[in-house]
Structure 1
């Protein structure tokens, strides 16, 4: 039975979740500019609430992006610090896939096209189908202009649902797509994906954990000396 702590700060939402004794507990706040102040107290409170110590955690999961550069950087930085302190591995989870999982949790929808407002008149886009209890990427994650989305997505079915702030900002990217109420990623969805990855040994060491930045001008440096 795995114990996983999940952290997501990739967007204006700040959330944490804990899988412990086969139960998921979580906390969620919208605090676009206070992630650094909010995240550690949220983690501490969640662990205390569940009567679980950090040393009991098997792995630290984090929202890998795409999303806000600062938000993604905060999330992976906190996750690396915690994982390094307890000498445990890390599990990166796509922010777009986390949105898809949110739609599945609330509506049992298996065909989701998440999009996050990437600013600069672009969106971060993905397309996923839930097959054999796992999310399969139909198209790779990308950053794209809203007017080009219609040429990018594949197999737009009658049961396709949207997710994410990209659809709120650009509601006319596609016709005949159902609208979900999932706009922001939530750690309670991230941790479900992370647990499946953990069971398949899809984890990385602290020094190999990397975020997903889809814009070419954005670079990432690993921990100093690693």
Structure 2
């Protein structure tokens, strides 16, 4: 039996994106529009379904970028994925938004960093496996840019809005280059979920899907 048709989304950053798998590839919608995810996400879901020529009844699984990222954006994506999956009785595949960011470029070694505000960044170190899937080395974390400890071996590519804000502090002989205007994309979330499904991962129940904040949200800090 082949892979189910996936619907994927990521709203963890200023970018909002949705993708669906088809027999011909992936159909994706992507827009950078901060603070507009609640208004844009569901219309974008319908847009990619229409472009792909399918309906929600044709979807067999849902993948969602669960952060780290903006608390409101992450919650919008997670709650929407849960609602759609519950309505259809579908499995859900949570995907790290940092891993999805690393999967947007064909670089074997990626230093992913998203601006976390408050003078901090969300970071993760990723190396591609034999199938081209970025695998986390160590743990994802949130910290001040000065506390980031990038590996000093190999040739690395910096990726994400954290690099736009703090690239001057992270330069070194091991940095091939960096892109500060890159975001996690639903197409990458979809590809990562498909790879897990192909490897035997059956996903989780929608009720078990949770945001991956790393640091507490504002209500939890008070």
Q: Normalising by the residue count of structure 2, what TM-score does the alignment of the two structures yield? A: 0.90
Whether contact under 8 Å (1:102, 1:182) holds in the other structure is no
Q: What is the match of residue 10 of structure 2? A: 8
1:33-71 Cα shifts (integer Å, max 9, x gaps) = 111111111111111111111111111111110000000
Measure the CA separation in 1 of the matches of 2:192 and 2:74: 18
Q: What is the match of residue 18 of structure 1? A: 20
**Unaligned residue ranges in structure 2 (runs of 5+):** none
How many residue pairs get aligned? The number is 213
Measure the CA separation in 2 of the matches of 1:28 and 1:47: 14
Measure the CA separation in 1 of the matches of 2:12 and 2:71: 8
SS of equivalent residue, structure 1 residue 88:
coil
1:219 CA displacement? 7.3
Q: What is the match of residue 188 of structure 1? A: 187
1:143-200 Cα shifts (integer Å, max 9, x gaps) = 0110111xx232442x200110001011123223211365211111111111111222
User: Where does 1:19-168 land on structure 2 (aligned, <5 Å)?
Assistant: 19-104=21-106, 109-133=107-131, 134-149=133-148, 152-157=149-154, 159-168=155-164
Measure the CA separation in 1 of the matches of 2:36 and 2:80: 14
Whether contact under 8 Å (1:139, 1:153) holds in the other structure is no
Cα distance, 1:143–1:82 mapped onto 2, change above 3 Å? same
SS of equivalent residue, structure 2 residue 93:
strand
Measure the CA separation in 2 of the matches of 1:164 and 1:219: 27
Whether contact under 8 Å (1:11, 1:68) holds in the other structure is yes
Whether contact under 8 Å (2:163, 2:179) holds in the other structure is no
1:211 CA displacement? 1.5
Measure the CA separation in 1 of the matches of 2:66 and 2:169: 25
SS of equivalent residue, structure 1 residue 201:
coil
Measure the CA separation in 2 of the matches of 1:118 and 1:19: 30
Measure the CA separation in 1 of the matches of 2:31 and 2:204: 28
